[in-house]
Amino acid sequence: MYGEEPLFGLLNRLGRPAPNHRPWPRHVTDRAGWRLLIDHLGQNNWSLLGLWGDRAADGLLVHAALREDLSGDVGLVSLPCPDGRFPSLSAVRPAAIRLERAACDLFGLTAEGITDPRPWLDHGQWGLRHPLAQTPTFSTPPTAPYPFLKSEGHGLHQIPVGPVHAGIIEPGHFRFTANGETVARLEERLGYVHKGIEGLTRGKPVLEAARIIARLSGDSTVAHAIAFARAVESALNLDIPPRAVWLRALMAEWERLANHFGDIGAICNDAAFAFMLAELSQLREAVLRAADACFGHRLMMDCVIPGGVFPDIAETGPKRLLDLTIELRRRFAPLVAIYDNKASLQDRTVSTGIVNTGLVNRFGAGGPVGRASGRGLDARKSPGYAPYNDLEFEVPVLTEGDVNARVWIRIREVEQSLSLVEQIVRRMPGVPRGPDGITPPPLLPLDHVLEHAKAGGGGEGMALVESFRGEILTWARIAADGTVERCHPRDPSWFQWPLLEAAIEGNIVADFPLCNKSFNCSYSGHDL
Amino acid sequence: MFKHILRSLTGGPVTEPAPAPSPDGLAELAGQVDRAAKARLGRSLSIRAVDAGSCNGCELELHALNNPLYDLERFGLRFVASPRHADVLLVTGPVTKNMADALRRTWEATPEPKWVVACGACAIDGGVFAGSYACLGPVETVIPVDLRIPGCPPRPTELLAGLLALLERSARAA
């Protein structure tokens, strides 16, 4: 590759791999090594998968996860920061800016040379500064307002929106600077729904922490629960029952269907075409009711837990899901034809809110946002995880990068997910039956999990899981007593929110809801 | 699309029937909400949803109330865009400290008479987020609460049942 050093080659030069980190290596480096990493990031196009602060027994450190997209190799680099400082990655990876601001707010880790040192999650309301640092300090609410970036010029005016929005949506603040109808700049301010999830999970038994992670972002509760469970299982080197692996994928695809139906309808609704929302919300409701009948919860919350899945799918579930996929396919196709044929609707979605390929690559954005702009990565394919390597599906990619492309990616993904659900239901391993006729749930007993934790002395694990929104990274360090020492879930929204600021530039203010909905980033998942 | 419209003209609405008790009890419940709302207010009831730190789960189910199967608006219950237009503030989430001020100001912007519904486990007692440095916990630590609708998240039918309870209580208080 143009004489470039492969990822693992560089990581091995940077430092030794830490013990007990699975499945990818984590190399511990020093400041010189970290700077060498920055030099290399400036010359290659490895994706930054995440960057987060950590507090170990011997002090603060910062972790960065990287991927070489072509080979699919993933690796982590850690830098101990005894003085609470580390050189910023923001100059070579702009996606690092908000992650570094968050690490500063939570741990007091200062990114040297960061291009934007303003606080991000911390609005000065917590009564604490650096709540996850060794010794948090008390704080008082700020006296000065948050300094928004300046936009000055003839005829420019500002429109502040939020945090309380007009619809039933999550809170966040948008500061528009417009010239007449045209948006000259949008700046987001998030963090309003920061719940301190990383602090709450600390010291909790894994099952209790799983309940918190399941509520990181309600629409992707299954995907986040899978990512956390897999990170824990990697850390403790656990193999879960095969049936649980397949049931997880079934729930994940079912969740993707529910969300995509809702999103396609809502995007059309924001283009004043309410008909599509009325039709597609019925399909969404059918999916949710089936989930309730199969797993006892409409959103399938708390069904995926470390060690497996609980409860198993209801006995009538597989048939119900197969019947419903046939019905959904029958009802979805004519709606797609309507979307495709309505000139008045296309007039709003085509060439609106364009994000170019260069930008999605620089920010490492995944999901429909990335795939609509030519970045065809999908964690189910690369690095890939079970059972998807045994399933047939395609990852749709478009290059237009507009609202229309993001709708089409979702339409194609609905078709793929319907097929995946059918494949999974047909090929899933059957219910194991014990000699006494009792059917155990597809779940490792808690004793077994705790014994493994004790025997292995705990460990560190990471998982990459594809949610309906894109790739989730979850990293966890589990102690020998089976409690969570540190857990960092990185929602895909982190790398998509910044692109929304770019997408709306040059569009009219009235198209913002349309652009925003076509991204559908998570506020809660991002704010943590 | 014309086929769809023709079908809905000839086939009737997909909305689940109001008078006959449906399996999940939705229709029966909704009818009672309507009668109580008329007795109390003599008009419709306007609801302003405020997310004060929710995971978005409650919001998804609030959205479901607006789909054609539940069709909340047929009972005169509707979500409005401004607290100035609202009779009811429906608050979700464990009230993050970063949202507390916005919630308080939304409440102040709502004209009397007004009621506050704490919707979901987090709004009632902080849920799994109770005790966090970033959350205040129950909605009632910030504004007075008239009714609690439990669930994580509450099902759409449970949301309707909750609104009925609110109307009966406020009618007794008057």
Q: What's the pLDDT tens digit per position in A434-489? A: 677 777 888 888 888 888 888 888 899 999 999 999 999 999 999 999 899 999 99
Task: Write out chain A residues lying below 8 Å of B65, CB-based.
Answer: none
CA A282 distance to own-chain centroid? 26
**Cα(B28)–Cα(B30) distance, integer angstroms:** 6
Task: Write out chain B residues lying below 8 Å of A172, CB-based.
Answer: none
Write down all domains in chain B, each with its CATH number in brackets. Answer: 2-173 (3.40.50.12280)
**Cα(A465)–Cα(A325) distance, integer angstroms:** 23
Specify burial of residue B49 (Cβ count, 10 A radius: 0-12, 13-18, 19+).
buried
Fold classification of A242-432+439-455+495-519 is: Cytochrome-c3 Hydrogenase; chain B (1.10.645)
Q: Enter the tokens of residue B108.
A: 């102040």
A195 → closest Cβ in B1, B68, B96? B96
Q: Enter the tokens of residue A355.
A: 């994000």
Which helix (H) or strand (E) segment is A22 a member of? Answer: strand A21-22
| Identical fold between A7-132 and A242-432+439-455+495-519 | no
Cα nearest neighbour of B99 on chain A = A192
Q: Enter the tokens of residue A465.
A: 């899981």
**Cα(A326)–Cα(A333) distance, integer angstroms:** 11
Residue A27 burial (CB count, 10 A): 21
Count CA atoms within 13 Å of residue B164 on its CB side.
18
B135 touches chain A (CB under 8 A): yes
Three-class secondary structure of residue A58 per DSSP: coil
Return residues 16-35 of B near A (CB < 8 Å). none
A170 → closest Cβ in B51, B61, B79? B51
- What residue spans define the domains of chain A? 7-132, 242-432+439-455+495-519
CA dihedral A413, A419, A421, A425 (to 10 degrees): -170
Nearest of A61, A40, A36, A39 to residue A51 by alpha carbon? A61
Mean pLDDT of A356-367: 93
State the pLDDT at residue B166: 67
CA dihedral A414, A418, A424, A430 (to 10 degrees): 130
Share of chain A above pLDDT 90, in %: 81
Q: Which residues of chain B have pLDDT under 70?
A: 17-43, 164, 166-174
CATH architecture under which domain A7-132 falls: 2-Layer Sandwich (3.30)
Nearest of A483, A9, A510, A475 to residue A205 by alpha carbon? A483
Tell me the pTM: 0.93
State the pLDDT at residue B25: 47
Query: Long-range CB contacts (< 8 A, 24+ apart) of A39-48?
Result: A40/A5, A40/A10, A41/A66, A41/A89, A41/A92, A41/A93, A42/A91, A42/A92, A43/A4, A44/A4, A45/A69, A45/A361, A46/A7, A47/A364, A47/A377, A48/A89, A48/A93, A48/A95, A48/A96, A48/A364
Q: Which residues pair with A75 in a beta bridge?
A: A66
Three-class secondary structure of residue A269 per DSSP: helix
Residue B29 burial (CB count, 10 A): 21
Pair type for strands A137-138 and A173-179: unpaired
User: CA-based angle A512:A415:B8, to the nearest 5?
Assistant: 75
- Mean of the per-residue pLDDT values for chain A? 93
Task: Write out chain A residues lying below 8 Å of B154, CB-based.
Answer: none
Lowest mean pLDDT among A102-106, A248-252, B26-30: B26-30
Task: Write out chain A residues lying below 8 Å of B52, CB-based.
Answer: 171
| Contact at CB, A218 and B55, closer than 8 angstroms | yes
What count of CB pairs under 8 Å joins A to B?
Answer: 145
Q: Enter the tokens of residue A297.
A: 């919860």
CA A397 distance to own-chain centroid? 19
CB B92 within 8 A of CB B120: yes
State the pLDDT at residue B40: 59
Cα nearest neighbour of A120 on chain B = B98
| Contact at CB, A215 and B55, closer than 8 angstroms | yes
Task: Write out chain B residues lying below 8 Å of A217, CB-based.
Answer: 55-56
**Cα(B120)–Cα(A200) distance, integer angstroms:** 19
Nearest of B162, B138, B141 to residue B29 by alpha carbon? B162
Question: How many Å lie between the alpha carbon of B75 and the closest alpha carbon of chain A?
Answer: 18
For an interface test with A, which of B24, B67, B117, B158 has the most A Cβ atoms less than 10 Å from its Cβ?
Answer: B67
Task: Write out chain B residues lying below 8 Å of A341, CB-based.
Answer: 1
Cα nearest neighbour of B101 on chain A = A125
Return residues 93-132 of B near A (CB < 8 Å). 93-94, 96-102, 106, 122, 127-129, 131-132
Q: What is the CA radius of gyration of chain A?
A: 23
**Cα(B63)–Cα(B60) distance, integer angstroms:** 5
A285 → closest Cβ in B53, B54, B67? B67
Residue at token pair 């930054």: A48
**Cα(B132)–Cα(A204) distance, integer angstroms:** 13
State the pLDDT at residue B19: 32
User: CA-based angle A260:A264:A270, to the nearest 5?
Assistant: 140
**A372-417: per-residue pLDDT in tens?**
999 999 999 989 999 999 999 999 999 999 999 999 999 999 999 9
State the pLDDT at residue A282: 95
Residue at token pair 């030069």: A13
Mean pLDDT of A94-103: 95
Mean pLDDT of A239-249: 94
Residue at token pair 């608006």: B73
Confidence of residue A259 (pLDDT cuts 50, 70, 90): very high
Pair type for strands A26-28 and A73-80: parallel
Dihedral sign from CA coordinates of A343, A345, A347, A349: negative
Mean pLDDT of A80-99: 94
User: CA-based angle B10:B12:B16, to the nearest 5?
Assistant: 165
A195 → closest Cβ in B67, B106, B134? B134
Helix axes A206-213, A221-235, angle to 10 degrees: 150
Nearest of A331, A366, A343 to residue A473 by alpha carbon? A366
Question: How many Å lie between the alpha carbon of A142 and the closest alpha carbon of chain B?
Answer: 12
Mean pLDDT of A223-248: 95
pLDDT, greater one: A515 or A1: A515
